[in-house]
Structure 1
Amino acid sequence: MNSTVISTAIPTVIITRPQHQAQHLVDLLEQVGRQSVVFPMFEIEEMLENPELDQAICDLEDYALVMFVSPNAVDAMLNRIAEKDWQWPSSVAIAVVGAASRQALLKHGIDEAAVRIISPTNTERTDSETLLEELDLTALRGQKVLIVRADSGRDFFADALLGAQINVQAITAYRRITPIFDESKKQELQTYLNAACAWVVTSSAVLRTLLAWCSQLDQAGAVAKMQQQNLYVPHFRIAEVARELGFKHISLSASGDEKLLLALQSSL
């Protein structure tokens, strides 16, 4: 179990991302004196054997655009490119949804000085629909677009491009894995639940897992108690799912850790 002492004065921030993706937000919170705990609700597993993605990398200059569905998709493809000691071709534009994916690109040395990066200009609503509005679908007609994605998710973006007579190839580059809910995690979750923490949730799947895990706790009313926790989410679609699942206190921020930090600080 995590040995962190949970604050009762200022709500401890529970970050439900994988450990390696949580550190930036942990650092930001530490800078403003906020206590945080990383409680991963999913893990990312890159597909080591992925001949389809390897072939797409070899043929990268054939694509007019590569769309990454998440920072994990960025890492999955660009890690493989780095292994081959290749550079991203400047002629191939990149499309991403949110600020976290832009940060992931920057981590790999890709910025708009070298490559055209397209993302929603409306930072209050970052999703496939708003990303689609930024694209010149007429110019892309008949060209090839690559979508790098997880093993699950919506098909809206691919379907919209296909409807615009654009050649789309979607490749699965990583899997989301839910951790085993063992006794240690049960004790940890129960501690956080009873302390009324602030929960950062960046995936709608986490919400369902939280309720499923709470239903397995040896505590009456654990699910209802979870639904009363304060949630902080960076995407309106996650907020919609939270409301559908019965969560009562939902704070929606714009995309990016800095925006999440502002939302957390403004709630004090």
Structure 2
Amino acid sequence: MSTVVITRPLAQAQPLAARIAALGRDVAVLPLLDISPLPDTTALRATLARAADYALLAFVSPNAVDAAFPHIPQWPHGLGAAVVGEGSRAALLAHGVPAQDIVSPADPAASDSEHLLKALDLEALQGRRVLIVRGESGRELLADSLRAAGVLVDTVAAYRRAVPPLDDAFAARLSELTAEPNDWIVTSSEALRGLLRRLEELDGQAAVAKMQRQHLLVPHARIAETAKLAGFHRVTLTGSGDDRLVAALQLRS
């Protein structure tokens, strides 16, 4: 049976790896994004100290949640939180945010900024302040759309992310995992694009072609579209959350 390759950042990969291994599947963890703390958290700490001044805090990923909460000693009563995926919702719940304070897309298969915007009460937010907690870079769609709706938007970086460099160990692992057909869990368009860049560095189009023959499992329609535009033909859209990823793998077992 093929190996399941989990490409999430390490902290989010390990719990999923344990669940998949319990199904009897071989698992390889190959993080395609390295997550690291900011060298200077002054702006982050100062902004989150004023969390209660906002009508809503939006977190772009579980990494944003985990990087922010050391600087939020207590979740302000009644403060709303917005997330795009089930992983981020679970992270907020783990940090003690009440479920009734969390807004996310209604359809787990459409966990992205576009569908989060549909779930938000934009009329109620008009003229009020919203904080988006994210990495040092990212999509501007959420911030731009909120501003267009009359919302006062601030953004703050909570962490930095980067595609791993193509050192000897990473190159050897890529070669090994693309040599045979495997199931790859890819949870970020940025990570997928970075992977293809590293494969091009490794062995040009030949390495990319091997990767394009792999089977991808992706939680979001946007990642599926990125994959198809990059030449992948075996792409399964699972919907957001570990439960759906695991269920999709069980269907293939």
* Matches for 1:193-208 after TM superposition, within 5 Å: 193-208=178-193
Matched, 1:128 2:128: no
CA distance in 2, matches of 1:40, 1:48: 21
Matched, 1:150 2:141: no
CA distance in 2, matches of 1:209, 1:53: 27
* Matches for 1:19-34 after TM superposition, within 5 Å: 19-34=10-25
Deviations 1:163-217 (A, max 9, x none): 1211110111111122121112111111111121111111112222222222233
Moved more, 23-32 or 227-236: 23-32
CA distance in 1, matches of 2:196, 2:17: 24
For normalisation by structure 2, the TM-score amounts to 0.95
Could you tell me the percent identity over the aligned residues?
Answer: 45
Equivalent residue letter for 2:86: A
Name the counterpart of 1:109: 96
Matched, 1:245 2:230: yes
For normalisation by structure 1, the TM-score amounts to 0.90
Q: Is the 8 A contact 2:58 2:82 kept in 1?
A: yes
Instruction: Report the aligned-residue RMSD.
Output: 1.5
- Structure 1 segments, 4+ long, off by >6 Å, are none
Higher helix fraction (1 or 2): 2
Larger Rg belongs to = 1
Q: Is the 8 A contact 1:61 1:91 kept in 2?
A: no
> Structure 1 residue 220: deviation in Å?
7.5
* Matches for 1:1-268 after TM superposition, within 5 Å: 10-81=1-72, 86-112=73-99, 116-218=101-203, 221-268=206-253
Q: Is the 8 A contact 1:254 1:260 kept in 2?
A: yes
Q: Is the 8 A contact 2:166 2:202 kept in 1?
A: no
Q: Secondary structure at the match of 1:215?
A: helix
> Structure 1 residue 43: deviation in Å?
0.8
> Structure 1 residue 267: deviation in Å?
2.1
* CA separation of 1:212 and 1:220: change in aligned 2, threshold 3 A: closer
> Structure 1 residue 219: deviation in Å?
8.2
Q: Give ranges in structure 2 of 5+ residues lacking alignment.
A: none
CA distance in 1, matches of 2:241, 2:235: 17
Q: Is the 8 A contact 1:47 1:175 kept in 2?
A: yes
Deviations 1:131-189 (A, max 9, x none): 11111111111111100011222111111111121111011111112212111211111
> Structure 1 residue 50: deviation in Å?
2.4
> Structure 1 residue 91: deviation in Å?
2.0
Moved more, 182-191 or 218-227: 218-227
CA distance in 1, matches of 2:203, 2:89: 42
Q: Is the 8 A contact 2:49 2:71 kept in 1?
A: no
**Equivalent residues, number:** 253
